[in-house]
Amino acid sequence: MSTARRVVTFEGPFRMHRGGFIESPTLAYETWGELNAARDNAVLIFTGLSPSAHATSCAEDPTPGWWEDMIGSGLPIDTDRFFVICVNSLGSCFGSTGPASVNPDTGEVYRLSFPVLTLEDVAESAWLVVKHLGIDCLHTVVGCSMGGMTGLALCVRHPDSTRAFISISSATRAMPFSIAVRSLQREMIRSDPKWKKGNYKAGKPPITGQRLARKLGMITYRSAEEWVQRFGRERSTTHARLEDQFAVEFAVESYLENHANKFTGAFDPNCYLYLSHASDLFDLAEYGGSLRAGFKRLNLERAQVIGVRTDILFPIEQQRELADGFASVCADTRFDELDCIRGHDSFLVEMDAFRPVICEFFDACPP
Amino acid sequence: MSTARRVVTFEGPFRMHRGGFIESPTLAYETWGELNAARDNAVLIFTGLSPSAHATSCAEDPTPGWWEDMIGSGLPIDTDRFFVICVNSLGSCFGSTGPASVNPDTGEVYRLSFPVLTLEDVAESAWLVVKHLGIDCLHTVVGCSMGGMTGLALCVRHPDSTRAFISISSATRAMPFSIAVRSLQREMIRSDPKWKKGNYKAGKPPITGQRLARKLGMITYRSAEEWVQRFGRERSTTHARLEDQFAVEFAVESYLENHANKFTGAFDPNCYLYLSHASDLFDLAEYGGSLRAGFKRLNLERAQVIGVRTDILFPIEQQRELADGFASVCADTRFDELDCIRGHDSFLVEMDAFRPVICEFFDACPP
């Protein structure tokens, strides 16, 4: 299979934010469009927890990316105008170094010997990629979900790294409902006897725990309102009630079953644990002792916050908090509160709502 | 330990709503106050999924009940005025026949050979208890959470069984978000290798699955808003991070841990599966083909619907639907939409909000 993925290895130890280091990490990334002569048209995209760097298709790799309808010629993140970069997060398993990678010092897979991962580490390692591409200052950082917090980590630590910031369905930090959900997802995986404290055998991952975690994920990624409209009390037509009376009966149970089947196998369980945990740990208020102080460290010319009314994982109150925070330090801040019904996942599936507001943001940028 | 629990066994086969029967079921119940000469002052309380019949304390059993501050002399459900009955649901494990009981026909514990349980069965068996107590028509049925649906099952099948109905944080039927949550809770238990398709050994229940299910329960019983206020990003002080970096770190994780530890062991896993499934199955619209037709079968003089703004399991839209439905057939319907922040559990913990409105309902009843 053809790939547009590039990799770069940064020789030497990479110091981790919470202690420890990893030796010579590799980062996978993709780019679209051309860097201009002034090197000031680069847009960096930070992903949510699970996507790879393959945000959209290209000639080299025509398989659809995770944000296919957002990035491209004539699309809101316009590759005729911008040089677009997407990095696979440090700690993930799609080409970048993570718990599923071999530790060059030992020749063994890291597994739980990988140091505690934070979004600061994800941001700093992506920043190395940006500099490797010869860019000193980004035009815009776009962060979706967890990626919005990663973007904040970059901007608060390197205030001159970007001129603009778009935060999509993200937060300044996780609140207890989201922490509880993610903690429970991790416990589902850790409770699976096949997890073996991270030492699961090749081909024998803790699939049961992963399936449960994915189902809980879907419950929090979508919205009750969407499901009332979409499923109501419809019965499943695709799943037979094989096992016992408690097996799939309702359409919504079939839907979760299908999603769980798709996801498991695609993502390394230990990588998932590390990235999920990193999402809980990030807190903008750690920079200066308060959110207010954290925002004060930013140096942005323009900011946009996009949030969705039905999001229960990164709820609309947290979008308002972000918008107020950016506005307190950056006059040119816009807040788009979208009335989508698909909850947190809306930025991936309700493109007709998201495209126009992102388009407007870039259209308003000086050329 | 002294107990105020009474039991009654109904000899002969009890036909189940979805087919099959159970032989000579026993029902456990408690009562408080005195039945008057006219036998028209009885209040029947249908519980949520997990409580026993011990709704409040009494001389015989001074241990606090699950609704201690609601029922008693001078309290909203006033035992000076009413004869109050609470039945342990059929299918539960606190004295009533359920999957953990011995099948008298075989001498073996039912386990999964117990027929599919519905809230219709819970209602019909409780109705037998009411008749056993010499009561033809109840003054009021009070149904909390799942118990509200059980109450609807009773009223739609026996329109003359009660003159008044109070529905608390309940619904006409489950919607997909709640079905998804409960289905996932059941899958957590069923996925635990110790479950053994319902044949877990004595003293070796599927504790891991039960713990996960209880934690997901707590996440949906409370509210994100409460937890922001209560925990924020506080760290746990009670749980050491023993196992690995993914063990308890935040206060909210400690809280879930404590609740999981309290619940498991107290409830039989198979009984939980049956009652949880029964909650998904009930649908008032099955009576006549639509909710409208279902409501039309009711024959109530007075109705009250109490719901909570922050409830995500039985959301406020479903409370409005109930209130509108009752109002369409019963002129004397009141709807109390409470601004409690503790979500679905508010009726158990925000007594200062619930007591006055229930008090008002009974105060307005003709003596």
Strand partners, B337: B307
**B9: closest CA of chain A, how far (Å):** 27
CB contact under 8 A, B315 and A224: yes
The separation between the first and the last C-alpha atoms of chain B, rounded to the nearest angstrom, is 37
Which residues are within 8 A (CB) of A46 and not within 5 positions of it... i.e. 6 or more apart?
Answer: A87, A89, A122, A123, A126, A141, A142, A143, A144, A146, A147, A148, A150, A151, A154
Q: Is A308 helix (H, G, I), strand (E, B) or coil?
A: strand
Q: Which tokens sit at B327? A: 């109002």
**Domains of chain B, with CATH numbers?**
6-174+282-363 (3.40.50.1820), 178-274 (1.10.1740.110)
* pLDDT tens figures, B1-15: 568 999 999 999 999
- Choose the closest CB to B246 out of A231, A232, A273: A273
Angstrom distance (rounded) from CA A194 to CA A191: 8
pLDDT value of position B354: 98
* pLDDT tens figures, B244-290: 788 899 999 999 999 998 877 789 999 999 999 999 999 999 999 99
Q: Indicate the pLDDT class of residue A265, thresholds 50, 70 and 90.
A: confident
pLDDT value of position B263: 79
pLDDT value of position B1: 53
Candidates B184, B186, B190, B223, partner chain A, best to mutate (most A CBs within 10 A): B184
Residue B60 pLDDT greater than 60, yes or no:
yes
* pLDDT tens figures, B98-134: 999 999 999 999 999 999 999 999 999 999 999 999 9
Instruction: Provide, rounded to the nearest whole percent, the portion of chain A with pLDDT above 90.
Output: 93
Q: Are B158 and B182 in contact (CB under 8 A)?
A: no
Residue B240 pLDDT greater than 70, yes or no:
no
Q: Indicate the pLDDT class of residue A1, thresholds 50, 70 and 90.
A: low
CB proximity B207 to A under 8 Å = no
Instruction: Provide, rounded to the nearest whole percent, the portion of chain B with pLDDT above 90.
Output: 93
Q: Indicate the pLDDT class of residue B294, thresholds 50, 70 and 90.
A: very high
Catalytic sites of B, residue numbers: 145, 311, 344
Angstrom distance (rounded) from CA B95 to CA B25: 10
Instruction: Provide, rounded to the nearest whole percent, the portion of chain B with pLDDT above 70.
Output: 98
Angstrom distance (rounded) from CA A355 to CA A333: 18
pLDDT value of position B237: 84
Annotated catalytic residue A160: no
Residue labelled with tokens 């009411």: B130
Residues of A in contact with B191 (CB under 8 A): 208, 212
Residues of B in contact with A229 (CB under 8 A): none
Annotated catalytic residue A344: yes
Q: Which tokens sit at B137? A: 């028509």
- Taking residues A319-325, report their average pLDDT: 98
Residues of A in contact with B175 (CB under 8 A): 224, 227-228, 232-233
For chain A, the average pLDDT equals: 96
CB proximity A256 to B under 8 Å = yes
CB contact under 8 A, B190 and A246: yes
CB contact under 8 A, B180 and A277: no
The sheet that has A6-9: what strands, in order across it?
A6-9, A26-32, A83-87, A42-46, A138-144, A162-168, A302-308, A333-338
* pLDDT tens figures, B202-235: 899 999 999 999 999 999 999 999 999 999 999 9
| Angle, helices B251-263/B207-221, rounded to nearest 10 degrees | 120
* pLDDT tens figures, A225-250: 999 999 999 999 876 555 678 889 99
pLDDT value of position B239: 65
State chain A's maximal CA–CA distance in angstroms: 66
pLDDT value of position A262: 86
Angstrom distance (rounded) from CA B212 to CA B178: 16
Residue A267 per-residue DSSP state = S
Residues of B in contact with A218 (CB under 8 A): 180
- Taking residues B26-32, report their average pLDDT: 98
CB proximity A53 to B under 8 Å = no
- List the one residue out of B243, B249, B210 whose CA is nearest residue B231: B249
Q: Between A144 and B247, where is the model more confident? A: A144
pLDDT value of position A327: 98
Residues of A in contact with B193 (CB under 8 A): 193
CB proximity A230 to B under 8 Å = yes
Residue A102 pLDDT greater than 90, yes or no:
yes
CB proximity A273 to B under 8 Å = yes
Residues of A in contact with B217 (CB under 8 A): none
Q: Which residue of B has its CA nearest to A177?
A: B224
- Taking residues A316-322, report their average pLDDT: 98
Residue A345 pLDDT greater than 60, yes or no:
yes
Residue A292 pLDDT greater than 60, yes or no:
yes
CB contact under 8 A, B228 and A181: no
Strands (E), A112-245: 138-144, 162-168
- List the one residue out of B202, B343, B183 whose CA is nearest residue B268: B202
pLDDT value of position A366: 82
For chain B, the average pLDDT equals: 96
Chain A segment 86-125 residues within 8 A of B by beta carbon are 112, 116
Residue A117 per-residue DSSP state = P
**A150: closest CA of chain B, how far (Å):** 18
